A and B are shown apart, each in its own frame.
Chain A
Amino acid sequence: QKEVEQDPGPLSVPEGAIVSLNCTYSNSAFQYFMWYRQYSRKGPELLMYTYSSGNKEDGRFTAQVDKSSKYISLFIRDSQPSDSATYLCAMSYSGGSNYKLTFGKGTLLTVNP
């Protein structure tokens, strides 16, 4: 079993739709949870960063972490064609060790005008 599982999609939605992206993980030591957006042939861009369980909202984006279920989500409201990209979940350990990120495989999202 991989440490982080992410449905690779692809996911295709109409403009304005609410998008839900999800990851599950197996290692309960993970404390920091991130979502990155990666456009084709570019480096990942940090979108959302959450510590432990709870919700975090930033504009049209909401990140949720449920540590009891080992499940994290990213919601995109009023999706735009410019949101078309691969979305990667990533997580790391606690303790300020500044250690490695463990990534999911990424979900390819297309928002159609």
Chain B
Amino acid sequence: ETGVTQSPTHLIKTRGQQVTLRCSSQSGHNTVSWYQQALGQGPQFIFQYYREEENGRGNFPPRFSGLQFPNYSSELNVNALELDDSALYLCASSFAGAAGNEQFFGPGTRLTVL
């Protein structure tokens, strides 16, 4: 069974630029959630994708957008980067329809905005 993978591992961008982060979900999972984790904080929910559609969104501006593909992999896009966007971006996969809500995380992409 393949776990959740994310790419790239690290990324350095400058203010105003755009970035795309990628995630491959765990085998058998059909739902992907994205979280932002600032240094010393718990992860904050950005949004979730199920059946290629957004299935809930946290308190993040529209410049945070995403996609889910037919193979359940996903992208997170952030436009007009700000310094405060520097964080660890985590992708989590799960199976919709399961009784609970076990989400399994990837290793994350560390984004630094200069």
Contacts and interface: CB of A to CB of B under 8 A. Distances in A.
Contacts of B58: 100
- State the majority secondary structure of interface residues on B: strand
A10 B93 CA distance: 29
Given A98-B50, A100-B58, A49 B45 contact: no
A32 B100 contact: yes
Interface string A60-85: 00000000000000000000000000
Contacts of A98: 31, 48, 50, 55, 94-98, 101
B61 interface: no
A99 B105 contact: no
A99 B56 CA distance: 7
A36 B35 CA distance: 14
Interface of B: 4, 6, 31, 33, 35, 40-45, 48, 50, 55-56, 58, 88, 90, 92, 94-108, 110
Which 5 pairs between the two chains have the least Cβ-Cβ distance? Answer: A103-B42, A100-B45, A43-B105, A98-B96, A92-B101
